[in-house]
Structures are given as structure tokens and as C-alpha cells.
Amino acid sequence: MRTSEEIARELESFYRHYIDVFNREDEGFFDCFANSRGIVSGERGLVAIANDDAYRNGFRRTMTALKARGWARSDIDHVEAWALGENLGMILSDVTRYQADNSVLERVRAYYMLRRDGGSWKIVTLSEVKPPFLGPGNIPR
């Protein structure tokens, strides 16, 4: 059985890959998600999303809108990962979104619940942690 530390390293490695494929707008981005996933917010509750063609088209529209706001890339500022079981984990991350001139577009904190699906980690849910709240672990921003 893997240790908590080994699983946390796997989760962090997965997350770095996820941001890389996001930045490249690589089709591998979709492989980072479970077949059915959700976004959890205080405003809308749980929004279930199938990992299908409609989602893929929606992601492309989201990327177009992000680029229209000036987005060029996202960089990881901080990532924490916790094993919750052999096949379940959580990630908390701080990401800065930059414009082409390297100015800051926005800073985002999010947490992700993941499960191991076969041999791969997959995102099951994600939520934004809105300022001034710190989220799990009370880790300073």
C-alpha cells in the first residue's frame, strides 16, 4: 500500500500536468476529469457535468472568453495535496493567471477532490476558495 506522502506526491504531479495541458489547450486536458464531475459553489450548489462533447465545446468557449480578457498562461504559485485514502485525494492550489505582457490578470485559489480511476488520477469535483477565506488547511495566501 502507498503511503500518504507517496499519494500526495502523485497528486501534486498530476496537478502540475493538469496546469500544463490547460496552458497548452491540449486535448489531454479532458483526460484529467472523471467521466462525470462537478463544480461546487455556495451560489449554485453542485453542478454535475458530463465529460462529453458538450463539455469540450463549453471548455473551448471558456478559453476563448479567458483569452478575450487577456489571459496568456496560468502559473502555479502553491500546491498542497492530501491523501484521503488509497484512491481518494484532495488538492488545494493557488494559481496566478498572466497576460501576454506578464502582468497579473487574476489570482485564483481552488480545491479539487480526486479519485484514482484505474491507474490515473481524475478530478471529481472542484471549487473556488474566494477571498478572504483560506479553505482547507487555513494555508495563508
Q: Quote the pLDDT of residue 86.
A: 95
The grid cell for 139 is 494555508
Cβ neighbors of 2 (< 8 A, separation 6 or more) are 10, 83, 86
Q: Please write the tens of the pLDDT for every residue from 66-119.
A: 999 999 999 999 999 999 999 999 999 999 999 999 999 999 999 999 999 988
Q: Work out the pLDDT band at 20, boundaries 50, 70, 90.
A: very high
Alpha-carbon gap, residue 52 to 63, rounded angstroms: 17
At the top level of CATH, the class of 4-133 is alpha beta
Q: Quote the pLDDT of residue 76.
A: 98
Alpha-carbon gap, residue 59 to 55, rounded angstroms: 6
Q: Please write the tens of the pLDDT for every residue from 78-89.
A: 999 999 999 999
pTM of the model: 0.91
Q: Are 30 and 18 in contact (CB under 8 A)?
A: no
